[in-house]
Chains A and B, each alone.
Chain A
Amino acid sequence: MNTNQAFKMSVKSILANKVRSFLTMLGIIIGVAAVIVLVSLVSGMQRQMQEYYASLGTNKINVSVYTWGSPDITSDLYDYCLSLDNLVTGVTPNSTYWGTVKYLTKTVTDAQVYLGSDQYSVCSNYQLASGRDLSYMDVLKYKKVCVIGSKVKESLFNYADPVGKTIVIGGNSFKVVGVYASKGTSWGDWMDNMIVVPYTLNRLLNKTTQMTEFVVKAKSADATTEAITRLNGFLSTRVDSNTGYYNVYSENTWQEQGNQQTMMLSLVLGGIAGISLLVGGIGIMNIMLVTVTERTREIGIRKAIGAERRAIITQFLIESSVISAMGGVIGIVVGTLLTLVLGKVLMQIVLFPSLAMTIGAFLFSVVIGVGFGLYPAVKASALQPVEALRAE
């Protein structure tokens, strides 16, 4: 008997018991769909997180300095960082100002105004779209200029060119010299709803010259660690622990923790889904054993008219694998649809299960069918024809 014949025979007996076959498949369908959905969602999450970190910029060191009475350390920190040129690519204050921004009749109230250095865009990972960036001279000479994010440009200028126009921030006029390109992440456009002005103008906006927040951009992950040590050393000599405190931390640490967490999540969820696949496999074994008992007489007939043991094993194995594989295919379809819908609803992104996982899920379900079908098949083939024929 060839495989093609055995295959046809199996499909026939699966179709003869449609409801039962479907219920048997259900275990595999749910298992495969669960694995696909959970793994896809977690990897989507991971991707989104990485995208988020990438948009923030990697190897960023945040420095906070709060002092009471000590002199402002901004220019010292700036100079110190420049001296670390083998470790650091940029340094900027990162203090903010909240207030209304106006251009002619248009007003924006929710934009974040950063007080930065000429290296602000390097540190916070912005690319220039048009015009020019802040310059060292702008900072040094208290120039009332600004560079705006794409969201602010859209709100105030729509499609007009903002470069050279004057906007009003908190009652002070600033000339727009450049526009940053949109970061274009799936995390929304709040990162584009920003304006950066020379930090020396803080005395106009926040009415103070004291800076508390800084961002230092390191050259690499290794340089980040080294730079943190150096910065801690530097700050310990400048900030008196009785009148202030400082804090130096890297976002790399967050990212690693975040990645570890999602990895963990993916293992745990994948494991749970895997257990449901195992239960599905046991369901198949159970039904195949029932089938063997039910069809004892049929097996007897087949043996009486010349079926070898191998033919009986093949028949039952193909039957269980076809059930399992069909379940796998339906599970893949259901899982893919669910992934698409849930990705859209939960994360606002279009998520597709990876091809490797889809193929893997299908092969795994076939393996489950063969694995759990083996015992019932061998049991069926071992029946003595005369005893099998006696069964009712």
Chain B
Amino acid sequence: MEHFILLEDVYKIYNEGLESEVRALSGVNLTIERGEFVAIIGSSGSGKSTLMNILGCLDIPTYGEYIMDGHRVSELSDRELSRIRNREIGFIFQGFNLIPALNALENVELPLIYQGMGGETRRERAMEALDRVGLGNRAGHKPSEMSGGQQQRVAIARAIATRPAIIMADEPTGNLDSRTGEHVLEILHGLHREGATVILITHDNTVASTAARRIRIMDGRIVEDTRQEVAV
């Protein structure tokens, strides 16, 4: 059977051959199916962010193969990669990564603009996503005028506006207090219940405990891959 995401013996090595060589990933094998909720857990420097960058087509492996939905990522052009990042994947970053000069609505509209979606529809879709995260009334605010939790919700709205198959969240609660963090997690679970594949990267075991599948990574290798029943 074809897997949705398949990593085969993936290495990511920086400064290869030099004294400063760093093996961020060394021999990762991993499959993820559609509709899974996966938490990737690891301490700082374990390689978990590198893993997400590769999964999200933001970076390419030094060695090994990444096959997503049947496509060999290493063989894709800039245009095809951009298209996958745009339509298939929704990113949520720890640092929110909103564009400061644009207001909430414009930030959410951005991926839709790159899709070539026209004015009215685009605005509706973006508003819908903002409503979804409870920020419909903050559409005109710039990131600097919003709290961290609100900014992260805008980032989530941006990630879901294109209705991607996978949501990738890198420490989405890292910069938030526990209550706002819980709210963000609830939104992610809600998206999962609606059928999205969610990949959550965290160093926090409490956050990870809400995931049905937990993958622990240490020194660039997967050291644990467990599944558990979680209360839906």
The 8 A CB mask of B130-169 against A (1 = contact, 0 = none) is 0000000000000000000000000000100010000000
Q: Is the CB of B114 within 8 A of A1?
A: yes
Name which residue of chain A comes closest to B53, CB basis.
A386
Kindly list chain A residues whose C-beta atoms are within 8 Å of the C-beta of B82. 303, 306-309, 311
When C-beta atoms are compared, the residue in chain B nearest to A306 turns out to be B86
Given contact pairs A16-B101, A386-B59, A303 touches B116 in the complex (Cβ within 8 A): no
Tell me if A155 counts as interface (CB < 8 A to partner B). no
Which residues on B sit within 8 Å (CB–CB) of A243?
Answer: none
Size class of B's contact patch? Answer: 20 to 34
Answer whether residue B58 sits at the interface, using C-beta atoms and an 8 A cutoff: yes
Partner of A305, one of B78, B102, B114, B116: B114
- Closest Cβ–Cβ distance, residue B59 to chain A (whole Å): 4
Contact with A along B74-110 (1 / 0, CB 8 A): 0000110011011100010100011101100000001
Contacts A12-B101, A297-B97 known; A307 to B58 CB distance under 8 Å? no
Q: Which of A2, A5, A300 has the most CB of B within 10 A?
A: A5
Q: Is B113 part of the binding interface, using a Cβ–Cβ cutoff of 8 Å?
A: yes
A304 near B: Cβ within 8 Å? yes
Contact, CB under 8 Å: A305 / B58: no
Complex-state Cα separation, A188 to B91, whole angstroms: 77
Select the residue from A13, A301, A309, A311 with max chain B CB neighbours within 10 A: A301
Summed over the interface, the residue pairs from A and B with CB atoms below 8 Å come to a total of 67
Question: In the complex, A309 Cα to B110 Cα: how many Å?
Answer: 15
Q: Do A309 and B78 touch (CB < 8 A)?
A: yes
| Distance in Å: Cβ of A290 to nearest Cβ of chain B | 16
Q: Which of the listed residues B82, B83, B111, B115 has the most CB atoms from chain A within 10 Å of its own CB?
A: B82
Neighbour of A306 across the interface among B98, B99, B102, B114, CB < 8 A:
B114
Give the CA-CA distance A310 to B53 in the complex, in Å: 22
Per-residue A-contact encoding for B51-75, CB less than 8 Å = 1, 0 else: 0010010110000000000000000
Min CB distance A13 to B, Å, is: 6
CB atoms of B97 and A307 under 8 A apart: no
Determine how close the nearest CB of chain A comes to the CB of B13; give it in whole angstroms: 14
**Docked complex Cα distance between A389 and B50 (Å):** 12
A305 and B59 contact, CB distance less than 8 A: no
**Contact between chains at B115 and A306 (CB < 8 Å):** yes
CA distance A12 to B87 in the complex (A): 26
What secondary structure prevails in chain A residues at the interface with B? helix
Cβ 8 A contact of B56, one of A1, A12, A304, A384: A304
Known: A12-B101, A13-B101, A389-B97. A308 touches B114 (CB 8 A): yes
A310 and B97 alpha carbons, distance in the complex (Å)? 21
Query: How far does the alpha carbon of A79 sit from the alpha carbon of B93 in the complex, in Å?
Result: 103
Cβ-defined partner of A308 (8 Å) among B79, B98, B162: B79
Q: Which residues of chain A are near B162, meaning CB under 8 Å?
A: 306
In the bound complex, what is the Cα–Cα distance between A300 and B97 (angstroms)? 9
Q: List CB contacts (< 8 Å) of A30-45 with chain B.
A: none
- Asked whether, in the complex, the Cβ of A5 is within 8 Å of the Cβ of B113, the reply is yes
The CA of A311 and the CA of B86, in the complex, are separated in Å by 13
Which residue of chain A lies nearest to B170 when distances are taken between CB atoms in the complex? A389
- Listed in ascending order, the chain A residues whose CB lies under 8 Å from chain B are 1-2, 5, 12-13, 16, 297-298, 300-311, 384-386, 389
* 9 A–B pairs (Cβ distance < 8 Å), ordered by A: A1-B114, A303-B85, A306-B82, A308-B79, A309-B79, A384-B58, A386-B53, A386-B58, A389-B93
